[in-house]
Chain A
């Protein structure tokens, strides 16, 4: 998980980082440096481990050696116990980073005779601190002294002196205490250690147990006041300061494909926003997981990492089922791009689920997280708590720019638009899958109920699972509502027939027109021919006539010529006369 940078709080109060995952965040830096802190809780809640991890992290990460003074377990037992968490105490002891001191006190061996003090304890502790130059001290569990030493007055006075002495020594100390009935600790240690009090809790609710941590008091510092779930596993302690995240997510404009082309088209043709939260809800068997698998496959194809939480199916079953619609998830698992986390919701408590989710996300660092389905959580727990948990998950994922896709099963009784777990307000894009029952058939429909920040399609599409994955088809609006399935096929055939008919009609008209044009053209040709023949005839006649005229002219001239001499001799005389 990305750790948020905290601005250094009060310069006056020095803090000693514990190195415990998440804890330094809720306390804004760690435990008060140079002061004792009380860590209390019932048996088995992880007090000792908290102390040990504080020392080990201090020695390895912050170069602060530490003394562990145990009043219960022997050194060997402690070394053995924390081996499973990957802490090599023996090595640290050898390198003088950590000193273990087992203080054993047996009531039956001790007789009290007069005045005494616990200087011996001080000397031992002082000696241990000085021998390795310790900066950190853990006293686990100092209350055992109450069982070993009968004189409580002396003991209490000495404890008070001890805590003061620790402050003077300037060591950061953790004092563990068993939880009492009314008080935080059985012997009221909180009276003496008042700078910082942390309560660990191990609660069983509906047969599932959850560990929680709360900072009851932290003098002179801000701190988270909620109960934070924590985990103890092979890497030690981890506290989850989920609610320390706020609504300050970085927002991305990047769009990523849903893996279903037609669905992308419904979302402005681009798909989901990166870092957004997508909910796919619907009744049983409508194909929610298929939508999720498509998204996972598309992400893997882009080379992104996908973390798939399945709460109902085993990964193998899921992969087999998805193969039937042509989605081969196996290959991506092989390439390390896809990781499955399969747990029954009832396996742990809600907080634990949250913690596991955090850990898995932090370890795998995915771009996409899929949770399928989320509503199985309400089996054992209160709806309100589930909502809080999901909100935390959404917050966490958004804070890390992870796109999340949740599926949710809607029960048939409730309204489709109400998501069982009431998280609709957390969701950015909500796809609703629903059954459309019509004509004795049950078909699937899908629509985008909401999609923040984009112009999404308002259409209901028919959702079909094919050998090549999910396909979305246009649905038809008939007289009796939307048509799907065979009704749609019939309607399609009907429309196709009508279309064909119309096409034929057009063809026919075209042909007729062509014929008319041909007729017209042939007529024009005939007229042309007639005209041409008439024209040539007329021209011939004109020619003949012209010839005749010419001939007559010639004849006239010839005739005239033949009589001309006479005519011409006479003429000049006439002229003269005139």
Chain B
């Protein structure tokens, strides 16, 4: 995903029929290296762990700064797990896969 259009096309791309659907939101600021790394890492993990039952929404705060307030975003990039509840936040470029899995509560799933 090198283009912004790529980011958009990925939005809720794989929406499976499962009822335990994962809704993830990734907050970034522009196309910074950290943002790109984070997105790549996230996509990889999701494909491995949640194939077909997740959706990712990427929000660029440089374009829509007011959207950051809802999820109390300070650090960037931040991944927010909207569903399933409870809401979880993972900050950083998601390069530490194990911690991402812990943060998403996916360790036992996989």
Contacts and interface: CB of A to CB of B under 8 A. Distances in A.
Interface of A: 101, 103-105, 109-121, 123-124, 126-127, 145, 148-149
Nearest to B35: A119
B27 interface: yes
A127 B66 contact: yes
Candidate in A101, A118, A120, A145 with the most chain B CB atoms within 10 angstroms: A120
22 contacts: A109-B89, A110-B89, A110-B90, A111-B91, A111-B102, A113-B96, A115-B34, A115-B93, A116-B76, A116-B77, A116-B91, A116-B92, A116-B93, A118-B75, A119-B61, A119-B75, A119-B76, A121-B74, A123-B65, A124-B69, A127-B66, A127-B68
B92 A124 contact: no
B78 interface: yes
Contacts of B95: 113-115
Contact of A111 (B32, B86, B100): B100
Contacts of A117: 34, 75-76
Query: Top 8 nearest A-B pairs by Cβ distance?
Result: A111-B103, A127-B65, A114-B95, A114-B92, A120-B73, A114-B93, A113-B92, A119-B76
B99 interface: yes
Contacts of A105: 72, 74
A113 B72 contact: no
Interface string B77-110: 1100000001111111111100110110000000
B29 interface: yes
Interface of B: 27, 29, 32, 34, 37-38, 41, 61-62, 65-66, 68-69, 72-78, 86-96, 99-100, 102-103
Contacts of A148: 74
Nearest to A124: B68
Contacts of B77: 116
A237 to B, nearest CB: 29
A101 B66 CA distance: 11
Given A117-B34, A119-B29, A121-B74, A112 B66 contact: no
Nearest to A154: B75
A133 to B, nearest CB: 15
Contact of A145 (B27, B74, B89): B74
B87 A109 contact: yes
Contacts of B65: 123-124, 126-127
A298 B92 CA distance: 78
Candidate in A103, A116, A127, A149 with the most chain B CB atoms within 10 angstroms: A116
A169 to B, nearest CB: 14
A117 B76 CA distance: 5
Nearest to B62: A123
A111 B72 CA distance: 14
A225 to B, nearest CB: 37
A119 to B, nearest CB: 4
B109 to A, nearest CB: 16
Nearest to B91: A116
A285 to B, nearest CB: 69
A414 to B, nearest CB: 65
Contacts of B29: 119-120, 123
Contact of B92 (A112, A119, A123, A126): A112
